Amino acid sequence: MLSRRSFVAAALLAGIAPAFAEPPAASDPLAILTAIYTRAAKGKGDGGGAFIIENKAAKAKYLSKGLVGLWKADAHTPKGDVGPIDFDPVTNSQEPDVKSFKLESEKMEADKATVAVTITGHRNDRKPADLIVRYDFVREAGSWRIDDIRGASDGEAWSTRKMLTDSLKS
C-alpha cells in the first residue's frame, strides 16, 4: 500500500525528473559541429557529413540563408552531371573516413565565428592540410548557421561559397 509520504515523494520525483532529462542541444558553433562530426564518425566513420546538404530541409537547418541561396547552382546543373560541390565538404573527401575530430575556435564574435575541425581517419593516406576543415558561421534570427565551409585538397584551397558563386557565373 502506498503511504502518503511515499506518494508525496514519488510525486516530487516525477516533477523533478524532467529537470534531469537531457538538455536541448546547444546552438553554438562548437556544439553544432560536435553533433555533425559525432554523427559522421559513427560506425566505421564512412557515413560522412553530406547529410547537412542532402535536401532543402537539411540546408535550412544547418546553412545560412545566403549559402542556401547560392545552392541554387545545383538547379543549373544538366541532368546526369555532377553539381559544383562534387564531394563531401564536411569530410573534405570523396570517401569519408572519420575516426575522431578536434575542434578549435579561431574567432568568436557576437554575430560571426570561425571554427577549425581537424579530422583523424582510420586510413592515414591524406596530407595534413587536407584534414583541416574550417567553418564560417553567422548568427541569423538568434541561431548560428554555417555560412561557408573551407579547406584544401592537395594543397589547393577550396570554399563552398566560392565554388557555388563561380558555378552561377558560368
Question: Is the pTM value of this prediction over 0.85?
Answer: no
Whether 3 is covered by a domain: the verdict is no
Whether 119 is covered by a domain: the verdict is yes
Whether 21 is covered by a domain: the verdict is no
pLDDT-flagged residues of the chain (< 50):
1-25
How many domains does the chain fold into? 1
- Look up cell 544547418; give the residue: 62
Residue 141 gets the label, from left (phi > 0), alpha (psi -120 to 50) or beta, of: left
Strand 156-159, strand 143-153: pairing? antiparallel
Whether 160 is covered by a domain: the verdict is yes
Domain coverage including residue 81: 26-169
Alpha-carbon distance 17 to 12, whole Å? 9
Whether 17 is covered by a domain: the verdict is no
Whether 103 is covered by a domain: the verdict is yes
pLDDT for 114 equals 97
Q: In CATH, what number is assigned to the domain containing residue 103?
A: 3.10.450.50
pLDDT for 73 equals 63
